[in-house]
Amino acid sequence: MADFIDETDTEETIETNPHHIDSKYRLILIAAQRSKQLQRGARPRVAVDTTKNKKNTRIALDEIKNEKIDFKITKLD
C-alpha cells in the first residue's frame, strides 16, 4: 500500500521550504528517499505524536520543511 500525500500539504511545504527546492517533483524524490531511511530504522528528527499513525512520507516532508535533514542536489554530467 503506497503512502499518498495530500497535494495541498505538498504545496504548503514547497511554499515554506527553506531549502528552495525548485519543484514539487524534486521535493517528492527527496522525501521518498528520506522515507525509505525512516522505514529502515532511522530515527525521525521531528517530534512525532505516537498516538497518531503518521506515515513516513509525512514525517520526511515535515523534516524537510523544518530544515532537519541535509541533502545536496547534484547535476548529472
User: Measured in Å, how far apart are the chain's first and last C-alpha atoms?
Assistant: 35
CB atoms within 10 A of CB 48: 14
According to the model, what pLDDT value does residue 33 have?
Answer: 95
Per-residue pLDDT at 1: 40
Calculate mean pLDDT across residues 66-77. 84
What residues contact 3, with CB distance under 8 A and at least 6 apart? 35, 55, 56, 57, 58
Domain ranges in the chain are 7-65
Q: What is the pLDDT of residues 3-51, one digit of tens each?
A: 444 555 656 655 655 567 888 888 889 999 999 999 999 999 999 988 8
